[in-house]
Amino acid sequence: MEAKDESLPLFERIKFLSIYSSNLEEFYRFRVSEHRQVIVKEESTQEDKNTALQTLDHINVEVERQLKEFDDFFRNDILKELARHHIVLYEDSEVEIFHKDYVRTYFREEVFPYLEPMIVLKGKIRSFIRDNRLYLVIRMYPKEEFRSVMLPGRGEPYYFIMKVPYTKIPRFIELPQHDNNYYLMFAEDMIKANLDIVFPGFEIESAYTVRVSRDADFMIPLENQQTLVDEIRKNVRKRKIGTANRFVYDSKMPFDFRMHLCEALGISPERCLPEGRHLHLEDLIKMPNPVGRILTAQLPTPLRIHEFDNSGSIFKVIKNKDKLLHFPYQSFEYLIRFLNEAAFDPGVEEIKLTQYRVAENSAVINSLISAARNGKRVTVFVELKARFDEENNFDMSQRMRKAGIRIIYSLPRLKVHAKMILVLRKTEKHNLEKSYACLSTGNFNEKTATIYSDIMILTNRIELITEMNQLFGLLEKGEGTYPFKHLMVTQFNLIDGVTAKIHREIENARDGKKARLILKMNGLHDPYMINLLYDASEAGVEVDLIVRGICCLVPDQPYSRNIKITRIVDSYLEHSRVWYFYAGGEEEVYITSADWMKRNLSRRIETAFPVWDRQIRDIIINGLMIQLSDNVKACWIDENLNNIYKKEDRVNKVVRAQRMIYETLKNE
Residues 501 and 471 in one domain: no
Q: Give me the half-sphere count of Cα atoms (radius 13 Å) on the Cβ side of residue 375.
A: 8
Of the three residues 422, 447, 482, the one that is the final residue of a domain is 482
Q: CATH no. for residue 407?
A: 3.30.870.10
**Is 238 within a domain?**
no
CA 275 – CA 25 distance, rounded (Å): 13
Tell the burial category of 312 from Cβ atoms under 10 Å away from its Cβ (0-12, 13-18, 19+): exposed
**Is 253 within a domain?**
yes
Residues 333 and 446 in one domain: yes
Residues 153 and 277 in one domain: yes
Residue range 427-437: mean pLDDT, rounded = 75
Indicate if the pLDDT at residue 233 is higher than 60: no
Give the pLDDT confidence of 143-179 residue by residue, as tens digits. 876 655 555 455 688 999 999 998 899 999 999 999 9
* pLDDT of amino acid 194: 97
**Is 498 within a domain?**
yes
- Contacts of residue 10, defined as CB under 8 A and 6 or more positions apart, other chains included, come to 78, 81, 82, 85, 295
* pLDDT of amino acid 152: 46
More confident residue, 370 or 36: 370
State the CB neighbour count (10 A cutoff) for residue 428. Answer: 5
Residues 562 and 615 in one domain: yes
- Contacts of residue 19, defined as CB under 8 A and 6 or more positions apart, other chains included, come to 285
* pLDDT of amino acid 504: 98
More confident residue, 431 or 163: 163
**Is 410 within a domain?**
yes
Beta pairing, strands 588-592 & 607-610: antiparallel
Confidence grade of residue 9 (pLDDT, cut at 50, 70, 90): very high
Residue range 400-405: mean pLDDT, rounded = 92
Q: CATH no. for residue 138?
A: 3.30.1840.10
Mean pLDDT across the chain, nearest whole number? 89
Confidence grade of residue 228 (pLDDT, cut at 50, 70, 90): low
Residue range 365-389: mean pLDDT, rounded = 85
User: Domain tally for the chain?
Assistant: 3
User: How far is CA 280 from each of CA 251, 257, 276, 287, 347, rounded to the nearest angstrom?
Assistant: 14, 20, 10, 13, 53
Residues 127 and 202 in one domain: yes
- Phi, psi values for residue 480, rounded to 5°: 130, 180
CA 362 – CA 351 distance, rounded (Å): 17
The closest alpha carbon to 453, from 274, 327, 595, belongs to 327
Residue range 652-663: mean pLDDT, rounded = 92
Residues 381 and 333 in one domain: yes
CA 346 – CA 426 distance, rounded (Å): 9
3-state secondary structure at position 444 = coil
Residues 496 and 528 in one domain: yes
pLDDT-above-90 percentage for the chain: 66
Least confident of 40-49, 299-308, 337-346: 40-49
Would you say 209 and 189 are in contact if contact means Cβ atoms under 8 Å apart?
A: no
* pLDDT of amino acid 238: 52
Give the pLDDT confidence of 304-362 residue by residue, as tens digits. 999 999 998 999 999 989 999 999 999 999 999 999 999 999 999 999 999 877 777 78
**Is 228 within a domain?**
no
- Buried b / exposed e over 86-107, threshold 16 CB at 10 Å, is ebbbbeebebeeebeeebeebb
Residues 443 and 574 in one domain: no
More confident residue, 235 or 287: 287
Residues 464 and 544 in one domain: no
Would you say 662 and 572 are in contact if contact means Cβ atoms under 8 Å apart?
A: no
Residues 328 and 184 in one domain: no
The closest alpha carbon to 247, from 220, 216, 222, 279, belongs to 279
CA 431 – CA 465 distance, rounded (Å): 10
- Most confident among 44-48, 539-543, 569-573, 603-607 (mean pLDDT): 539-543
CA 263 – CA 10 distance, rounded (Å): 42
3-state secondary structure at position 632 = coil
**Is 5 within a domain?**
no
Indicate if the pLDDT at residue 40 is higher than 80: no
The closest alpha carbon to 113, from 168, 167, 192, belongs to 168
Beta pairing, strands 577-581 & 588-592: antiparallel
Of the three residues 460, 482, 504, the one that is the final residue of a domain is 482
Would you say 264 and 125 are in contact if contact means Cβ atoms under 8 Å apart?
A: yes
**Is 237 within a domain?**
no
Residue range 525-554: mean pLDDT, rounded = 97
Would you say 21 and 281 are in contact if contact means Cβ atoms under 8 Å apart?
A: yes
Residues 442 and 497 in one domain: no
Tell the burial category of 199 from Cβ atoms under 10 Å away from its Cβ (0-12, 13-18, 19+): middle
CA 121 – CA 257 distance, rounded (Å): 12
DSSP string, 182-226: EEEEEHHHHHHHTHHHH-TTEEEEEEEEEEEEE----------HH
Range of the domain at 613: 489-666
Residue range 275-285: mean pLDDT, rounded = 93
Of the three residues 234, 262, 295, the one that is the final residue of a domain is 295
Residue range 250-273: mean pLDDT, rounded = 89
Give the pLDDT confidence of 180-221 residue by residue, as tens digits. 999 999 999 999 999 999 999 899 999 999 998 876 654 555
Indicate if the pLDDT at residue 80 is higher than 80: yes
**Is 233 within a domain?**
no
Residues 429 and 514 in one domain: no
- Active site amino acids: 417
pTM: 0.88
Rounded to 5°, the CA angle 214-35-259 comes to 50
Q: Which helix (H) or strand (E) holds 90?
A: none
